[in-house]
Structure 1
Amino acid sequence: MSNPSKPLIAVTSDVRTFENYTWHAAPEQYLIAAVEGAAVTPLMVPCFGDALDLDNILEAVDGVLVTGSKSNVHPSLYGVEPTQAHEPFDPARDATSLPLIRRAIDRGVPLLAICRGIQELNVALGGTLATEIQDLADRLDHRAPQSDSQAERFAIRHPVRIKPGSCLASIMEADSVQVNSVHRQAIDKPAPRLKIEAMAEDGTIEAVSVGDAKGFAVGVQWHPEYWVRTDSPSRKIFAAFGDAVRAHKIARGLLAAAE
């Protein structure tokens, strides 16, 4: 029997074409992590941009999960001329996710942004991205290893240093954790409102938070959703997000009761 008090969260989607249909979809691992790791009910938001009433959506949910994706934020949105190296793109997702992120932060709705999500968070607030970071001087290769096995591609393989006293430090209760790495873009110039929470040994920004947010607003460059069942740091991120979502739901209920 379902729990009527379990919070709802909005989950971003991608636009894909398959068998002559256009699909608005999200990878299952994020949905499983939401259900099992955060103990919330995920609802996918289709990529219809301005046609959506984002405030109405955010009034109905108590959290937002911004997923990773193979596509990249279009560079024109952060002032860079697009090249083949920036592809592939998903303009319908850009037109939906970026304003959704901004509205969620403005309204104090808890937000967890992963991989493409942290990049969207940065661009939504005025930051820029670097592409093909493995080609930059003194950078590690953060791309997934070539393999047909998802477990190998998402294997946990390098440490990130967590800033003392940060939001992530309080979640992890550690100054370093091991993470996976499945990306070729990363934050270049951080948005003014973002606080750096963690970095890789090569200086790649691996986690951020929104300094002036009214509630939980965290982005990570790695993929905690993949190992939420077996990896303690991955579980802790989703548990913290779930706790923030439930706190937001309770606070909204108390406010409504007082009115």
Structure 2
Amino acid sequence: MLQPLVAVSTDVRQFENYTWHAAPQQYLEAAITGAGVLPVLVPSFGARLDLDQLVASVDGVMITGSKSNVHPSLYGGDPSEANGPYDASRDATTLPLIRKAIDHGVPLLAICRGIQELNVALGGTLAAEIQEREGSLDHRAPASDSQDERFALRQAVRIKPDSCLAGVFGAGEIKVNSVHRQAVDRLGDRLEIEAVAEDGTVEAVSVKGARAFAVGVQWHPEYWVKSDDASARVFKAFGDAVREHAAARAAARQAAE
């Protein structure tokens, strides 16, 4: 089988006097080495893209993390400079792309900002500056110039029994990194909780009744995919689902010939 294609979200950034549509290398590397797929960057042009054609042409969708936040107007919140930065072009692309992937039964992996986009796309809301909530852990990255220290595996999450991720990790807890300051608040329609942190923060969700793997995680498995077993398992599960979808598409084409 040919290496299956996976659509990957992009951020819109301004530098070097150009507008760039880009994704961090860690996600692309994890897609190739961890999931065994070929990542294809999707420019954030919103309604100008034929997303039905896109999801019909790929075998998976991966929504990456980002420094930017989903614009609060999309879930009834109030935008502020403190809650930013925002990326409206990304929002206009990823939210409908997520819904299209689910509707078409295309495997979906949503990471960090991605789980927040997944929640908003399905009608949920987000809580900002969660470290200020009473009883909450500080889920922000440690202050450091070292990325390895910022993305260190330091928080435990509890996997819900009999969930999709219980089939990936087994029962019990895994240790993850934590680099976020907002999180799922009201859970979106069709979503169910897969894992929570010690303070109850939602750390993973899945789409109820999805025809394929459709999971969002709040942590960053892409960073340690080559050295951490739990991180590697996330991408292996996604890659296996992508290959299953590719095989089904190939069988359908053969049957139609």
* Bin of the TM-score, shorter chain as denominator length: over 0.9
1:198 and 1:205 in contact (8 A); partners too: yes
Distance 1:81 1:34 in 2: 35
CA contact (8 A) 2:160 2:171 kept: no
TM-score (norm 1): 0.98
Which position in structure 1 is the counterpart of 2:245? 248
Task: Compute the displacement of 1:212 (Å).
Answer: 1.9
32-41 or 172-181: bigger deviation: 172-181
Partner amino acid for 1:84?
A: E
Query: 1:103 corresponds to which residue?
Result: 100
2:162 is aligned with 1:177: no
Contact 2:59 2:242 in 1 (8 A): yes
Matched AA of 1:257: Q
Match of 1:81 among 61, 72, 78: 78
Aligned partner of 1:17: which letter? Q
C-alpha separation between the residues in 1 aligned to 2:105 and 2:90? 22
Which residue matches 2:50? 53
Q: Give the SS at the match of 2:74.
A: helix
User: RMSD in angstroms over aligned alpha carbons?
Assistant: 0.8
Which aligned runs of 4 or more in structure 1 are off by greater than 3 angstroms?
none
**How far did residue 192 of structure 1 move?**
2.1
> Where does residue 93 of structure 1 map in the other structure?
90
What's the CA shift for 1:213? 1.1
Give 1:84 shift: 2.3
Counting matched residue pairs gives 256
Unaligned runs of 5+ in 1: none
Corresponding residue of 1:156: 153
Pick from 249, 254, 257 the counterpart of residue 257 of structure 1: 254
The alpha carbon displacement at 1:214 in A equals 1.0
Matched, 1:168 2:158: no
CA shift, 1:29, in A, is 0.1
What CA deviation, in whole Å up to 9, does each residue of 1:173-212 have, x standing for no partner? 2311000000001000001210100000001000000002
**Between the two proteins, what is the percent identity of the paired residues?**
66
Contact 1:85/1:131 (8 A) holds in 2: no
The CA distance in 1 between the partners of 2:218 and 2:78, in whole Å, is 23
The answer to whether residue 122 in structure 2 is matched with residue 125 in structure 1 is yes
Paired residues of 2:111 and 2:220 also in contact (CA < 8 A): yes
- Give 1:240 deviation, angstroms: 0.2
Q: Secondary structure at the match of 2:194?
A: strand
Offset at residue 85 of structure 1 (A): 2.6
Q: 1:11 aligns with which of 8, 14, 27?
A: 8
- For the residues of structure 2 that align with 1:123 and 1:10, how far apart are their CA atoms? 20
Q: Partners of 1:154 and 1:27 in 2: how far apart?
A: 14
State the match for 1:66 in structure 2: 63
TM-score if structure 2 supplies the norm length?
0.98
Q: Which residue of structure 1 aligns with residue 20 of structure 2? A: 23
What is the deviation of 1:19?
1.2
Residue of structure 1 equivalent to 2:195 = 198
* Partner amino acid, structure 1, of 2:224: W
Shift of 1:104: 0.4
From 215, 225, 229, the equivalent of 2:226 is: 229
Q: Specify the code of the residue in structure 1 equivalent to 2:199.
A: D
Amino acid at match of 1:233: A
